[in-house]
Amino acid sequence: MATSLLTQLKEMTTVVADTGDLEAIRRFQPQDATTNPSLILQAAQQAERRARLASIAKESTDLDDAVDRVAVDIGSEISELVPGYVSTEVSARLSFDRDATIAKAHSLIELYAKHGVGAERILVKMASTWEGIQAARQLERDGIRTNLTLLFGFAQAQACADAGATLISPFVGRILDWHKAKNPNTDFSGANDPGVQSVKRIYDYYKGHGYPTIVMGASFRNIGEIEALAGCDRLTISPTLLNELDESCGELPRQLSPLGASSSSNEALTQADFRWAMNEDEMASDKLAEGIRKFMADQRKLEELLSTLRNS
């Protein structure tokens, strides 16, 4: 019997489920699982969760507290199904507030502890803004592991490595989306995919300089992007694409290898350097701002749902 692409991928890359769907996690048996406000909203809307959500909403001090408790409740369930990390995101409202992000991360870890889930199992996610990256720097010193998300530009990756983040999540598909919108007639398949190129550049930079930060490609639009990044440290993949990989056969050659990585200089970026580089990178600036807005929009929908349940 032919070996599926998913089985082959697992031999060279740690596969992570990008979902809050417990059934999908049970089926695909990933090492880790990631969530974000959009995925938590999807999970929260499942009918079988309604009574539990209502109970959490009524027990919480306010809606902000309720949102955190829901995320941790779902994350705790996920932690029983995966052996590795579970990623839980701080509110997008805090994307430009270092101190509030640090406080929120500690609060999330305390909530997980009440569920019997240790800090070593959790990656606290935050946007790769300058403030988010500096919050991660302090949190790593505090013993809280971090996942820097909404990463689109090379300057973000440089700053995350310098801050000592445990893991970064460069967004492949959203980079492709931006370039396709700007250049609709261009061939972006395979190695021409700008999202794939971005992750390869970051991977080579990290391995070339010996940074321990894990590179985890995220936000995929098709399995071709995943195949082009076979060998990356980790890839977080939606259930739909996990299923497609599981049902597809053929040879999956390794594309990324730390042995072949080389890199340029690695001087630490100052805040001014970082902000200038982001300003010069139109795509990264656009997608970071858009990503924060989208996550916040879904968080507001979750808040509305919890408010309704709280007052019912």
Q: What is the pLDDT of residue 237?
A: 97
* Structure tokens that stand for 11 in this block: 């031999």
Beta-strand (E) ranges in 80-223? 86-89, 122-127, 146-151, 167-170, 214-217
* Res 97: pLDDT: 98
- Identify the three-state secondary structure at position 167: strand
Residue 20: strand, helix, or coil: coil
Q: Is the pLDDT of residue 312 over 90?
A: no
Q: Is the pLDDT of residue 267 over 80?
A: no
Give me the pLDDT at residue 254, please.
Answer: 97
Strand partners for 217? 235
Mean of per-residue pLDDT scores for the chain:
96
Measured in whole angstroms, how far is the alpha carbon of residue 267 from the centre of its chain? 26
Which is catalytic among the residues 10, 58, 125, 287?
A: 125
Q: What is the pLDDT of residue 2?
A: 80
pLDDT tens for each residue of 78-112:
999 999 999 999 999 999 999 999 999 999 999 99
Question: Distance between CA 283 and CA 144 in Å, rounded?
Answer: 30
- pLDDT confidence of 1, banded at 50, 70, 90? low
Q: What is the pLDDT of residues 184-212, one digit of tens each?
A: 999 999 889 999 999 999 999 999 999 99
Beta bridge pairs of residue 149: 127
pLDDT for res 21: 92
Give SS3 for 169: strand
Question: What percent of the chain lies above the pLDDT cut of 90?
Answer: 94
Query: Bridge partners of 4?
Result: 249
Cα separation, 53 vs 26, in Å, equals 22
From residue 195, alpha-carbon distances to 15, 154, 159, 286, 288 in Å are 18, 11, 19, 15, 14
What is the distance between the alpha carbons of residues 199 and 184, in angstroms, rounded to a whole number? Answer: 22
Buried b (16+ CB within 10 A) or exposed e, 136-171: bbbbbeeebbbbbbbbbbbbbbbbbbbbebbbbbbb
What is the C-alpha separation between 112 and 287, in angstroms, rounded? 31
At 265 the three-state DSSP class reads coil
Query: Binning pLDDT at 50, 70 and 90, where does residue 268 land?
Result: confident
Q: What is the pLDDT of residue 266?
A: 73
Query: Does residue 207 carry a catalytic annotation?
Result: no
User: Scanning the structure block, which residue is given the tokens 């440290």?
Assistant: 233
129: DSSP letter: S
Q: Which domains does the chain have, with CATH numbers?
A: 5-310 (3.20.20.70)
Residue range 106-115, pLDDT digits in tens = 999 999 999 9
Q: Is the pLDDT of residue 53 over 80?
A: yes
Contact, 177 vs 198, CB < 8 A?
A: no
Q: For residue 139, give the nearest of 98, 170, 86 by alpha carbon.
A: 98
**Which of the four pLDDT bands, split at 50, 70 and 90, describes residue 259?**
confident
